Structure 1
């Protein structure tokens, strides 16, 4: 500060006492009344240089590879292997691909890479072993790594996915975000890459089971479309902030709301807006890329009564509570969980110009069970259900473009929507949106997760299956005399078998006093004795279900390559067979004769009481049996 500058600074204080001015001068290094030593100016801060990724520059080195020998290096990666498990040319190819992916993640998307704020730079180790089918990644002793099997190593999409985990492990989010979200976010990131924009991978699983809680473990790799929509609407930063925000302790949804300044109601609104767009996949990236066209091509449409087994649950089939009054309810097993949603096809009445929907949510004040039994994957406590919904009507016009009715909330609302003679289709969307943020643990067991039942009265249209001239539910099929359900020409069903009015048997063999109930579907396999298929079960492959065994599933097709469920065993809820020849790294599932099981099923669960090996009956659920009385 020069003397002139001091004077300029002092001038406004001309009326102050001399001692005050003297103190100010001393503080500025201008001397003291006693003529003491002058305070030296502070040392200039060190110059920090940054690279093209916005990170502090430094020397890159290799540390901690397994095996220790480094066979190949790029700017940010060190490759380790022994023998000839990997060809050098493949390593060069993958190294170039990883550098390109690293650049997109760090610059285009803006998620900062590991050690970004350090000048001590350690290359990410790519440790390549035999072909055990497993790929893992993260941070080990402060150094990023990808442990790759030889087969997965040569698959560009696989290493791009695993590289996301390295980035994630260098953020504050790794301490509190659930492991299932690590996988969801990794596939969301891969979907932003130019080479994989047209690759939807397994994301159709989330479309086919949209009524399950968003973020559920069954679709942990697949349910990234909501995050894609957030990025389209607000840019990449809000999704990045879920990982990079400091001081957070909640899950991905609580963190998103906190960093955006959203209330629970506002977050619910975002989910409702997302769900209606999924009718036509009304998604366009901020750079103009038509993501919706990719989804429409890969997923197909919403076809009622599709014979494609794994798509059979996309559209919800309602059940009448007063058909004459046009009042219907969602089947209890089909009711949506938190941020899950139902889509119902509405068929306009002949000559109708308006569809009017009156909505009634079935509210629940508290858990239907006072305590959980202490099994695997139960939460420490169960909150109140906080019943809430978002719902709307979506019209698809003659060109395939959507018209959206307002997304309403609450459990007692009505609205009318104009329709045109040339409209292609109409859909009712109903989403469960609890009034308070409701955390679910990673892979939280099915019976501890609330469902949110609802009812509607529809005028000017009928839900699919109740319109005039409704098509046969199975082409070439017939109604079964015992239960009035549908049986296809390829199936063999004994007269003694019960096939309920909403059930379908496309193929396979059903004998004895077996029951195909609720909205269950049998594609192939055998069900006999007094066994049951119930809820939303879809069974295929060569599975056999006998004795008094029961499958009451709500997710995916149980392909059952040769397993036998017998005795009194039960598979319930969001059941998924692990080790059914579609998965790697688990023994083949051969079946159970006892126990009651939920969620991901391993053959070893048959010896685990916490997983249900000793149960003889279903666990009481937190969701109450719905009281479908119109009000």
Structure 2
């Protein structure tokens, strides 16, 4: 590129060194001087040496290449390797500078094996914390990538399905104790220690108290009740923008319970929605009585694994989407709880969190079947949960009509053959074309997609774009974007896919995000050496990687439901 990169002929490689350095200096001042994440005292390496910045793809053939990476050089000083296009603003380089500073922790701040180095279960925290720090410099990024976060909020906290976004619990710490406590996690961590266990140790808590703290965080997720740097308001605005302009991205925000009995108000959380370790469910409740007093009987199934536990409680909200008040925290495996809305409160939610009695530090990509889940049943009086209220999805039922075969909603811009079925809670939008004997059932959302032949899209599946033919079956919480699914392929669970193709005999589920595949097999995980899978390897359901660590359970019979108090009369 010569000595004048600012005037280089290729605009994608052109950059102004002074501008890049000016931006990084501002971020450095924020992170080091103001927030004191890392020391640059004269006796420290950060005070002795300059952080190294390498511009990728500007060195010619064989030189450093790639988008953006941060870390250290020679176990001496922080460094980053970034493409010129990654330096146009501070969004990427604030993240990468954090990585450079994170690397300095084990070099100069915590030299006895801490700093989350060399231990796979803590690897997620490097990315989560880097994005957390980015929001300290640029608060607007607090609402970044909400679709993925909403779509994986029931997953375990350190899941690699959302390791860039799992930093909101740090906001809870920041609001209560200040950012120095977040810094202390790095500076005072021990070797081979999960950051949650670092925090538990620093607080002198037991596991139950850690669970209580994490539920305090989970309940804030209903309204993004975070005050520091206006994070909550930013996140609420981002979520509302998605609901209004791109509702197909509001994946799995609310847990859709399976109804066991309408007459007795019994529901069970579907397996795909069951919260994992510190994952949570948000269940809107719509009161059906004038007193607006809602009662819930809760039953957690402890027989599924050795660490099963829960935290749960009510959250009441105001008309502007902010929190009004929180109900009591509950932890019993079986109990009955009640809550009455005040006249000024417009929303009621039940939040349920997986609260393991013993912490598990998961390896990178253990695979869905190897992650503990915490299923539960509910009996709800004087309210209906999300999906069962009479005006479900009313905001999206404009400029359309009910389909003659099934009664579901079809936008006037979509085409649905008379032979195709659209169930009463399902919705077909955009330029979708549904033909043949295809069935859109459950609360499925289909938009801009071509669905033909005998395809079934059911459960809470979300399909946007793409072509679906043959006898393909898409169910549960599956999310497909611009995919091609044909033959007898099955996509289920919490599979999340973009632009891939699946053929006959392929079953994709669990938390899989895989590439195109036409080799018959069962794929319930992202391939990794830790789970023994490779791309499209054709392993059957009986393969050890697909063996679930969670035992099956039997739903309660009515006479076995806990009854600590008199069950209220439905009004």
Query: Could you tell me which residue of structure 2 aligns to residue 629 of structure 1?
Result: 556
In 2, the alpha carbon distance for the partners of 1:513 and 1:229 equals: 48
Query: Could you tell me which residue of structure 1 aligns to residue 491 of structure 2?
Result: 551
**How far did 1:221 drift?**
1.2
**How far did 1:198 drift?**
5.4
Alignment CA distance shift 1:280-1:148 (3 Å): same
**How far did 1:526 drift?**
2.1
The aligned runs of 1:145-160 (5 Å cut-off) are 145-160=79-94
Query: Could you tell me which residue of structure 2 aligns to residue 97 of structure 1?
Result: 23
**How far did 1:361 drift?**
0.8
Query: Could you tell me which residue of structure 2 aligns to residue 501 of structure 1?
Result: 442
**How far did 1:417 drift?**
1.0
The aligned runs of 1:94-173 (5 Å cut-off) are 94-113=20-39, 117-118=43-44, 121-130=48-57, 132-141=65-74, 142-171=76-105, 172-173=114-115
Query: Could you tell me which residue of structure 2 aligns to residue 12 of structure 1?
Result: none
In 2, the alpha carbon distance for the partners of 1:270 and 1:232 equals: 13
In 1, the alpha carbon distance for the partners of 2:68 and 2:391 equals: 52
**How far did 1:488 drift?**
2.4
Query: Could you tell me which residue of structure 2 aligns to residue 326 of structure 1?
Result: 265
Query: Could you tell me which residue of structure 2 aligns to residue 254 of structure 1?
Result: 197
TM-score by length of 2: 0.81
**How far did 1:241 drift?**
1.8
In 1, the alpha carbon distance for the partners of 2:165 and 2:72 equals: 24
Query: Could you tell me which residue of structure 2 aligns to residue 396 of structure 1?
Result: 317
Alignment CA distance shift 1:426-1:196 (3 Å): closer
In 2, the alpha carbon distance for the partners of 1:212 and 1:394 equals: 21
Alignment CA distance shift 1:463-1:313 (3 Å): same
The aligned runs of 1:518-533 (5 Å cut-off) are 518-533=459-474
Alignment CA distance shift 1:512-1:300 (3 Å): same
In 1, the alpha carbon distance for the partners of 2:555 and 2:502 equals: 33
SS in 2 for 1:280: coil
SS in 2 for 1:139: strand
TM-score by length of 1: 0.74
In 2, the alpha carbon distance for the partners of 1:493 and 1:395 equals: 40
SS in 2 for 1:297: helix
Q: Over aligned residue pairs, what C-alpha RMSD do you find?
A: 3.4
Listed as ranges, the gaps of 5+ residues in structure 1 are 1-66, 73-78, 367-383, 578-588
Residue by residue over 1:133-189, the C-alpha shift from the partner in whole angstroms, topping out at 9 and shown as x without a partner, is: 421121121232111122213332211111111111122314236222101000101
In 2, the alpha carbon distance for the partners of 1:165 and 1:540 equals: 31
**How far did 1:233 drift?**
1.0
In 1, the alpha carbon distance for the partners of 2:10 and 2:49 equals: 25
1:455 to 2:377 alignment: yes
Alignment CA distance shift 1:418-1:495 (3 Å): same
SS in 1 for 2:349: strand
Listed as ranges, the gaps of 5+ residues in structure 2 are 59-64, 106-113, 407-419, 562-571
Query: Could you tell me which residue of structure 1 aligns to residue 538 of structure 2?
Result: 614
**How far did 1:301 drift?**
8.1
**How far did 1:215 drift?**
1.8
- Give the count of matched residue pairs: 515
Query: Could you tell me which residue of structure 2 aligns to residue 240 of structure 1?
Result: 183
Which of 208, 211, 235 is the aligned partner of 1:265?
A: 208
Alignment CA distance shift 1:412-1:183 (3 Å): same
**How far did 1:130 drift?**
1.2
Which of 223, 229, 250 is the aligned partner of 2:172?
A: 229
Residue by residue over 1:195-228, the C-alpha shift from the partner in whole angstroms, topping out at 9 and shown as x without a partner, is: 4455533255213321111121111112211112
If you compute each CA radius of gyration, which structure gives the higher value, 1 or 2? 1
